[in-house]
């Protein structure tokens, strides 16, 4: 599957595109053909959001999406809106391996390539507001990982952090922060009712499980692994899994980005808040020692620009 946004308005298709209709893949547009306004109108009317391309392997599929994402993000004439939408639409197919095969090299490579694309996208002036607008959509694991990573990268840059290795480790920590949830039962993760005590305890294990999954992965920076372990720790010592009061500064940034995106996204058990209301909620959290006041102030200022 490839999102339509990858091709909308493009000329000279580099591959043949197929539609899936009544159990069959039907050729929709041949290689070398152009995309027209008629295509957009026709597919919108039929509610088609993705087309299909033939690949020999999942790795080839991921590589194709990554190359095309980088290509679109590099185009000076492509709008920020289109870049944001393509980045968002590709979060699911590019990051799906993380939660299906969390221990695989393919999953880590996919996450790493996606973080580099996030950094590239956020180098565009005014790029973040476009992602904020998309954050009100349903809270899928992959879209959530994208937003947490992007918010944290933008926050670090606003604070003057420029070292690429540090920005990359932060972004990868954001993409992988919930990887431990791959070991938690789906019926708990997707439960609409209030969690029972044992279910809540299972959820709280995901930070430690995430660190264990990444523990032997030498290609994941140590700082990214620490972020995964600490993203639910709080300065007041009431976080988990270890109740420490001194999480790494990047872990504090991820915790703010994680909370903000969770609050503003549509969930199975609650509607999303408006960004202003979510920020007010986080300010209350600062007063209780849940979030770092310096980083939250910078986060609010960043979003208000």
Instruction: State the pLDDT at residue 270.
Output: 75
pTM above 0.75, yes or no: yes
Instruction: State the pLDDT at residue 224.
Output: 98
Instruction: State the pLDDT at residue 150.
Output: 95
Residue 276, C-beta contacts closer than 8 angstroms, at least 6 positions apart: none
Instruction: State the pLDDT at residue 192.
Output: 80
Assess contact for 278 and 264: CB atoms under 8 A: yes
Give me the DSSP letters along 203-226. Answer: HHTHHHHHHHHHTT-TTS-HHHHH
Beta bridge partners of 2: 51
* Helix, strand, or coil (residue 7): coil
Q: Would you write out the chain's pLDDT as a tens digit for each of its 305 residues?
A: 888 888 887 778 889 999 998 899 999 999 999 999 999 899 989 888 889 999 998 888 888 999 999 989 998 888 899 999 999 988 888 888 888 888 888 889 889 999 999 999 998 877 898 888 887 776 688 889 999 999 999 999 999 999 999 999 999 999 999 999 999 998 998 888 888 999 999 999 999 999 999 988 899 999 999 999 999 999 999 999 999 999 999 999 999 999 999 999 887 667 789 989 999 999 998 888 999 999 999 999 998 87
Assess contact for 303 and 279: CB atoms under 8 A: yes
Which of 12-18's residues contact partners 24+ apart within 8 Å by CB, and which partners? 15/53, 15/54, 16/53, 16/54, 17/51, 17/52, 17/53, 18/51, 18/52, 18/53, 18/54
- Burial (0-12, 13-18, 19+ Cβ within 10 Å), 51: buried
Q: Where are the beta strands (DSSP E) in the chain?
A: 2-3, 17-21, 24-29, 50-51
Query: Within 13 Å and on the Cβ side, how many CA atoms surround 142?
Result: 19
Instruction: State the pLDDT at residue 138.
Output: 66
Instruction: State the pLDDT at residue 4.
Output: 87
Instruction: State the pLDDT at residue 59.
Output: 83
- Burial (0-12, 13-18, 19+ Cβ within 10 Å), 27: exposed
Buried b (16+ CB within 10 A) or exposed e, 55-73: eeeeeebbebbbebbeebb
């Amino acid at each position: 599957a490839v999102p339509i946004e990858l091709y909308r308005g493009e000329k000279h298709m580099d591959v043949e595109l197929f539609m899936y209709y009544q159990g069959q893949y039907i050729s929709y547009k041949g290689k070398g053909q152009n995309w027209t306004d008629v295509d957009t109108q026709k597919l919108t009317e039929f509610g088609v959001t993705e087309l299909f391309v033939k690949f020999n392997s999942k790795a080839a599929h991921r590589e194709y999406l990554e190359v095309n994402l980088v290509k679109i993000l590099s185009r000076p004439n492509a709008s920020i809106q289109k870049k944001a939408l393509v980045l968002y639409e590709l979060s699911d197919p590019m990051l799906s391996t993380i939660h299906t095969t969390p221990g695989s090299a393919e999953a880590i490579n996919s996450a790493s390539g996606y973080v580099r694309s996030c950094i590239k996208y956020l180098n565009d002036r005014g790029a973040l507001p476009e992602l904020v607008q998309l954050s009100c959509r349903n809270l899928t694991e992959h879209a959530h990982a994208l937003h947490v990573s992007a918010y944290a990268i933008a926050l670090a840059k606003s604070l003057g952090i420029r070292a690429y290795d540090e920005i990359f480790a932060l972004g990868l920590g954001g993409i992988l922060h919930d990887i431990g949830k791959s070991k938690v039962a789906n019926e708990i993760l997707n439960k609409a009712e209030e969690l029972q005590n044992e279910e809540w305890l299972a959820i709280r294990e995901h930070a430690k499980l995430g660190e264990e999954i990444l523990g032997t992965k030498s290609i994941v920076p140590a700082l990214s692994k620490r972020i995964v372990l600490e993203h639910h720790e709080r300065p007041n010592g009431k976080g988990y899994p270890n109740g420490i009061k001194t999480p790494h500064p990047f872990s504090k940034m991820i915790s703010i980005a994680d909370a903000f995106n969770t609050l503003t996204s549509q969930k199975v058990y609650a509607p999303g808040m408006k960004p202003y209301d979510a920020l007010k909620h986080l300010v209350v959290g600062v007063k209780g020692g849940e979030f770092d006041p310096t980083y939250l102030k910078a986060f609010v200022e960043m979003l208000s620009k």
